[in-house]
């Protein structure tokens, strides 16, 4: 449940790509809010638009439509220089931290670099801050002299987190931050993300295929299908009483077999192929794969509607919780 004013408020956000002369609607008319200190989870199959939404919400990709209000400022109206200075408050953590770190920079240089880009502090202060950040993310200060390829995956992700924290962000988009890591390391990184969220009152947009982790981390969750939100609810409501048929299939594995660690890890995938994003189906985009589809679903597009307070679903037959 969200009681405070949102830190990030996104309304009607759309992003399309031109691919060989054809238009691909990667994100369509998405609206959401994220409150300081809270986590918004994004779930959906591969290609549903999670990463594009995360990047467009930070204006790392230019939106085609929509409004983005961050910390009281309309991001879409900012000129490039103003956007750069605002961007330090909005950071990203990636699935592959090695790819996001410059291989020619030592760990210390990589963390300092983010501070230099944003014009922060004297070099002495920066170095002190590097030491403090390394300690905070659970790494020895000596690692500042190492190159990223010399570290384990878990250590690289800790460096990615330290780099993101170095500029004192208010919001971090975590795009599959644990999926490349061993399970025991995943638990440590999740705990670290939770601890720093509490300490710094950080807002997260948390993207993961691991629905158990999304449930554990999130306050609110958006379910995306072909770039559109099909369900939006508190994590508690979504996982206890999913309303949209697509969400119900996605959650099937963790709801039915909570004791199975192996199945908890992966997302159940609905039968049939995800339709081409170049030619989405008429009516409800999920109708070719939905076991409940009737003629109306093929003709009339369902829009998000309230099924209960803080719970919306885009289905003609959405079940109230
Ligand atoms: N730069 C791009 N140019 C063209 N199409 C793109 C680009 N980036 C993403 N897409 C397309 O946009 C759609 C959404 O992609 P996106 O990467 O956001 O999905 P995702 O939900 O993050 O998937 P995954 O779970 O595999 O990371 C897909 O159809 C993808 O092919
Ligand atoms: S609108 Fe129809 S096709 Fe779409 S999810 Fe609901 S029942 Fe299924
Ligand atoms: Mg992605």
Q: Which ligand is nearest to the CA of 209?
A: 1
- Distance of alpha carbon 69 from alpha carbon 83, whole angstroms: 12
- Distance of alpha carbon 237 from alpha carbon 235, whole angstroms: 6
- Please report where in the chains the tokens 């410059």 appear, as a residue: 102
- Distance of alpha carbon 211 from alpha carbon 217, whole angstroms: 10
Q: Which CATH superfamily is domain 6-89+169-243 in?
A: P-loop containing nucleotide triphosphate hydrolases (3.40.50.300)
Q: List the domain boundaries for the chain.
A: 6-89+169-243
- Distance of alpha carbon 264 from alpha carbon 281, whole angstroms: 30
Ligand 2 atom nearest to 244, measured from its CA: 5
Q: Which ligand is nearest to the CA of 94?
A: 3
- Distance of alpha carbon 223 from alpha carbon 247, whole angstroms: 7
Ligand 1 atom nearest to 52, measured from its CA: 18
- Please report where in the chains the tokens 């993300």 appear, as a residue: 193
- What mean pLDDT is reported for the chain? 91
pLDDT digits (tens, 9 = 90+) for 20-70: 999 999 999 999 999 999 999 999 999 999 999 999 999 999 999 999 999
Predicted confidence band of residue 3 (pLDDT cuts 50, 70, 90): low
Give the residue whose CA is nearest to atom 5 of ligand 2. 315
The answer to whether the CB of 138 falls within 8 A of the CB of 192 is yes
Of 30, 43, 47, 210, which is best to mutate to test ligand 1, by the most ligand atoms within 8 angstroms of its C-beta?
Answer: 47
pLDDT digits (tens, 9 = 90+) for 135-167: 999 999 999 999 999 999 999 999 999 999 999
Burial class (CB in 10 A: 0-12, 13-18, 19+), 111: buried
Measured CA to CA in angstroms, residue 251 lies from 226, 228, 232 at distances of 18, 18, 14
- Distance of alpha carbon 46 from alpha carbon 30, whole angstroms: 17
Structural tokens at position 279: 């030619």
Secondary structure element (H or E) that encloses residue 124, with its range: helix 123-136
- The pTM assigned to this predicted structure is 0.93
Length of the chain: 321
Stretch 201-220: mean pLDDT: 95
List alpha helices for 257-289, DSSP H: 261-264
């Amino acid at each position: 449940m969200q009681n405070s004013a949102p830190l990030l408020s996104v309304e009607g956000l759309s992003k399309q790509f031109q691919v060989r002369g054809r238009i691909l609607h990667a994100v369509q008319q998405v609206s959401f809010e994220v409150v300081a200190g809270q986590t918004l989870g994004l779930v959906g199959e591969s290609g549903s638009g999670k990463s594009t939404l995360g990047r467009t919400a930070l204006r790392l990709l230019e939106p085609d439509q929509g409004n983005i209000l961050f910390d009281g400022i309309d991001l879409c109206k900012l000129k490039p220089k103003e956007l750069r200075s605002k961007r330090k408050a909005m950071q990203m953590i990636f699935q592959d931290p090695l790819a996001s770190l410059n291989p020619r920079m030592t760990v210390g240089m990589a963390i300092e670099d983010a501070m230099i880009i944003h014009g922060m502090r004297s070099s002495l202060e920066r170095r002190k801050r590097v030491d403090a950040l390394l300690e905070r993310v659970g790494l020895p200060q000596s690692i500042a002299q190492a190159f990223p390829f010399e570290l384990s995956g878990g250590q690289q992700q800790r460096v990615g987190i330290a780099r993101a924290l170095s500029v004192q962000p208010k919001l971090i988009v975590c795009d599959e931050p644990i999926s490349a890591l061993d399970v025991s390391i995943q638990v440590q990184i999740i705990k670290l993300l939770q601890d720093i969220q509490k300490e710094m009152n950080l807002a997260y947009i948390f993207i993961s295929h691991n629905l158990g982790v999304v449930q554990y981390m999130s306050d609110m969750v958006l379910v995306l299908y072909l770039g559109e939100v099909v369900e939006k609810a508190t994590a508690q409501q979504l996982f206890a009483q999913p309303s949209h048929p697509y969400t119900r299939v996605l959650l099937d594995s963790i709801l039915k077999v909570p004791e199975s660690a192996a199945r908890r890890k992966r997302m159940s995938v609905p039968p049939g192929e995800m339709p081409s994003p170049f030619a989405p189906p008429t009516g409800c985009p999920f109708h070719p794969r939905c076991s409940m589809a009737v003629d109306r679903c093929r003709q009339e597009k369902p829009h998000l509607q309230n099924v209960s307070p803080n719970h919306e679903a885009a289905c003609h037959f959405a079940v109230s919780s």
